[in-house]
Structure 1
Amino acid sequence: MSRLQASSHLGTHDVANQPVFRTARDYWADDIPLREASTAAGGRVEDLARAGKRLGSEPLQNAAQDARRDLPRLKLFDRGGRRLDEVEFHPGYHQVMQAGLEEGYAAAAWDGQPGGHATHAALVYMQMQLEPGAGCPMTMTYAAVPALRNDQALFAQWAPKLSSGIYDPSTRPIWEKQGATLGMAMTEKQGGSDVRANTTRAVRDGEAYRLTGHKWFCSAPMCDGFLTLAQAEGGLTCFLVPRWLEGERNAIRLQRLKDKLGNQANASSEIEYHNALAYRLGDEGAGVRTIIEMVHHTRLDTAIAPAALMRAALSEAHHWVSHRSAFQRRLIDQPLMRTVLADLSLDCEGALAVSMYLARAFDRDDDESRALARIGVALAKFLSNKRSIGVVGEAMEVLGGMGYVEETPMPMLYREAPLNSIWEGSGNVICLDILRTIINEPRAAEALNAVLDGAKGNDKRYDLALDAHRARWPSIPAQSEARWFAENLATLLTTAALMQTAPNAVVDGYVTSRVAAQRGAIHGAISGLDEEAILSRI
């Protein structure tokens, strides 16, 4: 079907010097760093190539825009006054969900094939460039599988549906579906990150329990079930709460949808349990220990998501400057513009490299890799998300006034940029968790030090920075220095990851600016980068 070009002759003027809007892209073929990092991590290249083309296709680009434009609607009652407690989504949202799940977002890590987590991480990276809001329920679904291993009966019933690669949004109980999604509902008003302050009560009812209480944040209320925390007789306990029962709705009452800064296609909500049926997952009193496996796996996704947002913003900025001129020169040929874009690219490449490096650790079944993954994703989540906000903001500025206009993706990306740092433990929580991990899990510190030491000898400036870090903090720092400590450590880990896969121009630029700190305080306040080599990779 042919497509007529929009008219450029408008009577009062001719439209010129305006880049052509990209209606489709290929998230895999167009991304050199992704292909390199995914291949090195053991990701399944053929699957990723197929997914990158599909997720970047024009129909899905349009569907994602529709899902963000026509927001979820809360449907509490039918017109006869009977409770529904449902959320209505635009069909575009369902298209995006279907594509992501069919391409393996929630399934790839659990299908028994090599490179499952590396493939999953690369899928997250591409999906988040298409529509970040739809990633939330898919990440929860992926991350719930290892937590369910605490109960073999629940695992047998739920895990095959969660990892089926089938999207079924119908309101039916789990046993009537081929595919299912699972969310998380932990936070309460009075406690926030301190889930031990939760007041939701759990009372035994035969082999099951009944829950009564509220949850201030429910990640995706139309999932087929939720992992949640409640106070049982033996203490804070983890439960699986099914959304739909045999012939009835479970007593989960949606209170309202959150009016959020971003992530608007995802219907985050407040809910209440009114004597809702639930099944215990793990022992009574072991709620945090049980659900921590789900939290751990979500951190892989919240570590790579900022890389995706940076990549999407950087790609848009690069496209703009490559097709727009000012003062008789293309913007991409202006020396200062090249410096800014190259500098932004270093944060993007670093975040991608460290996340894919850690995804490979998730795929390995040895104690050292598991320990590295435990502390590594916390470090990567902290640093990459903090840097994402500045990168996306600078990329928005590259487009000038158009970057502030909703017809471009820049405002959406800017609103998304803070989210993954806030979700599941904000910066302070993550930094303190890093300190606890080093204290309580010596093997994690050993595994991390092995990676950092393994990178020595490649660049003297890195070696000096590593020595300086250890001299500054020979032991665990005071809490007041936890952010400084975590930032330093995460920067060194990112450098070590880049040394595994990135070309010399990227590694040297990263060491110069982020490790040796030979730069100013803002992006683009730097010199000496191999801009041609770095920009050729966007």
Structure 2
Amino acid sequence: MRPQDRFDTHEVTNQPGPPPLRDAWAGDVALREAVDAAGGQAGPLAEYGAALASPELAEAGRAAEANPPQHLAFDRAGRRLDEVRFDPGYHALMRTGLAAGYAALPWEGAAGGHATHAAMVYMASQREAGHCCPMTMTYAAIPALAGATGPAAAFRDKAMSRAYDPAVAPVAAKAGVTIGMAMTEKQGGSDVRANATRAEPADGAWRLTGHKWFCSAPMSDAFLTLAQTGAGLSCFLVPRWLEDGRNGIVIERLKAKLGNRANASAEITYHGAEAYLLGEDGQGVRTILAMVHHTRLDTAMAPAGLMQAALIEAHHWCAGRRTFQKRLIDQPLMRAVLADLALDREGALALGMRVAQAFDDPAQTAFARIGVALAKFLSNKRCPVVVAEAMEVLGGMGYVDDTPLPMLYREAPLNGIWEGSGNVICLDILRTLARVPEAGEALRAELAAARGENRHYDAALADFAARWPGLPSEAEGRWFCERAATLLTASVLLRRAPAAVSDAYAVTRAAGEGGRVPGATAAREVGVVLDRMAAG
């Protein structure tokens, strides 16, 4: 039944309702093009896109974000529980994503697995981004568990399951498990070598004692964590539940976060928690880097999905709202703003999928290493700007939680912080280029591959090479990384996107013809860019 729109005092007009539920696969031509170019699998993505577009999962996403997880420290009799309870919508999203292969598919042996996974991250982030965190960490933990033996091997096998099993039970009783991460400590932050958590051998395993300032997804079935042994910092798998009861893990409190509300983050303390060594004793950073590397792929893809979700709302509003006798979508200044924002989404999507393609090819390991860091850096710097501008398009309505824009705005900074904030990523890029010659060679080859396609790009690439014939000083790290990532994005678009998109990106981003705020550019093929936002 239609809601009432006539009142004694006024009639509701010129107020667009919510956009119709959109299939994130069938309704996104740019995604389908990028997946095809990257060698991803269309079939699983079509099924996942249709599921995410259902009214049931749309409501599940809203409910999961509106009803954050709750920490149950004790039962009614005062016995310690240390459990986290979630809204049913969260469980529905998790069940659907894991069944689609979000975590397992890249490791099942089919071609294009990581590219397909990256597209799933992009699509799931548009529905509700909080539930992606535990699925991402489970996906990323599998390579770190590849050589696991003994009790840890069971977690590797169950992490490969497509079953979602949230039961409080030991691994042997579970149909599938999720894996979290607990690395950060108060005194160290990104400097994990300063970690003070201690590990001591005991009864064929290890016992951990210490505090973790951030534990992602504390209701996971196990965590990858770092602790000090006599040999140095080492990597461990810490089960949440043991065969004879709870492990020695106490949840001190859940973090009251700006966004990512459907997902729990916690402070935890290990009180002699049983743990299993992964990799070599004293080589913990090297071991856990396999997980970090793969989580970075997701932190590079998620901002593209958030941008897309915000732009869908903005475009729908402009298509249904009239001002000064014309639809907003037909106003030249608004068209310039929307098209300029769309270029950031096109670039983030194209670069993220190109990097995911490299994850699928062992011959491109060097490019995957440098490319994912550059993609994470640039896409996450653009995401908050794009989402904020899309919010402004809706005016006051965009600032109200009746629309998803506030949720998207709260989410926008997260992936730039998680797994290395901007400065950490820049330093990592510089170290990689200095220590891994193959990475620099792969980056130069990727940039050169688009030479001759666009004169603006060619000039910008020449300027970049002249400005930095070698590596920059640390103080110029952000400038260097921004330019490198922008040129890399332009190179991918020039080879894979329609000319109207790639030319516009080369002119406005690579050549820098325009101002520093969205829409402060000369209009170039605006209609084509806008049509891609609405096209299915």
TM-score, normalised relative to structure 2: 0.98
TM-superposed deviation, 1:152: 4.1
CA distance in 1, matches of 2:70, 2:393: 35
Amino acid at match of 1:512: V
Amino acid at match of 2:463: A
1:439 and 2:434 aligned: yes
SS in 1 for 2:76: coil
1:418 and 2:399 aligned: no
1:344 and 2:308 aligned: no
TM-superposed deviation, 1:155: 6.3
Equivalent position of 2:474 in the other structure: 479
Contact 1:106/1:163 (8 A) holds in 2: yes
Amino acid at match of 1:108: L
1:280 and 2:295 aligned: no
Contact 2:19/2:313 (8 A) holds in 1: no
SS in 2 for 1:40: helix
TM-superposed deviation, 1:468: 1.2
- Once the two structures are superposed, the pairs formed by residues 88-103 of structure 1 within 5 Å of their partners are 88-103=85-100
SS in 2 for 1:239: strand
CA distance in 2, matches of 1:500, 1:304: 19
Equivalent position of 2:23 in the other structure: 26
Equivalent position of 2:381 in the other structure: 386
Equivalent position of 1:290 in the other structure: 287
1:305 and 2:295 aligned: no
Amino acid at match of 1:253: V
1:51 and 2:37 aligned: no
CA distance in 1, matches of 2:408, 2:144: 31
The match for 1:372 among 353, 367, 371 is: 367
1:10 and 2:4 aligned: no
CA displacement, residues 297-335 of structure 1 (integer Å, 9 cap, x when unaligned): 000000011101100000110011001111111000000
1:220 and 2:221 aligned: no
Amino acid at match of 1:25: R
TM-superposed deviation, 1:455: 1.1
Could you list the runs of 5+ residues in structure 1 that have no partner in the other structure?
none
CA distance in 2, matches of 1:322, 1:84: 51
Q: Structure 1 residues 491-500 or 478-487, which shifts more?
A: 491-500
Equivalent position of 1:507 in the other structure: 502
1:330 and 2:333 aligned: no
CA displacement, residues 81-124 of structure 1 (integer Å, 9 cap, x when unaligned): 11000001111111111111111111111111111001000000
Equivalent position of 1:492 in the other structure: 487
CA displacement, residues 18-65 of structure 1 (integer Å, 9 cap, x when unaligned): 112235221111111001001111111111111111112111111111
CA distance in 2, matches of 1:207, 1:153: 10
Equivalent position of 2:204 in the other structure: 207
Contact 2:500/2:528 (8 A) holds in 1: yes
Alpha carbon RMSD of aligned pairs, Å? 1.0
Contact 1:19/1:320 (8 A) holds in 2: yes
Equivalent position of 1:161 in the other structure: 158
Equivalent position of 2:263 in the other structure: 266
Identity %: 60
Amino acid at match of 2:285: V
CA distance in 1, matches of 2:20, 2:268: 38
CA distance in 2, matches of 1:248, 1:74: 19
Contact 2:209/2:271 (8 A) holds in 1: yes
Amino acid at match of 1:334: Q
Equivalent position of 1:402 in the other structure: 397
The match for 2:231 among 226, 231, 234 is: 234
- Once the two structures are superposed, the pairs formed by residues 461-480 of structure 1 within 5 Å of their partners are 461-480=456-475
TM-superposed deviation, 1:10: 2.2
Contact 1:149/1:155 (8 A) holds in 2: no
Amino acid at match of 1:213: G
Equivalent position of 1:174 in the other structure: 171
Contact 1:118/1:356 (8 A) holds in 2: yes
TM-superposed deviation, 1:153: 4.2
Equivalent position of 2:117 in the other structure: 120
CA distance in 2, matches of 1:98, 1:24: 20
TM-superposed deviation, 1:151: 2.5
TM-superposed deviation, 1:457: 0.9
SS in 1 for 2:213: strand
Amino acid at match of 2:101: G
Could you list the runs of 5+ residues in structure 2 that have no partner in the other structure?
none
CA displacement, residues 388-412 of structure 1 (integer Å, 9 cap, x when unaligned): 1100000000000000000100001
TM-score, normalised relative to structure 1: 0.98
TM-superposed deviation, 1:154: 5.7
CA distance in 1, matches of 2:161, 2:271: 31
SS in 1 for 2:131: helix
SS in 2 for 1:209: strand
CA distance in 2, matches of 1:312, 1:166: 28
CA distance in 2, matches of 1:295, 1:311: 25
CA distance in 1, matches of 2:231, 2:301: 37
CA distance in 2, matches of 1:219, 1:61: 24
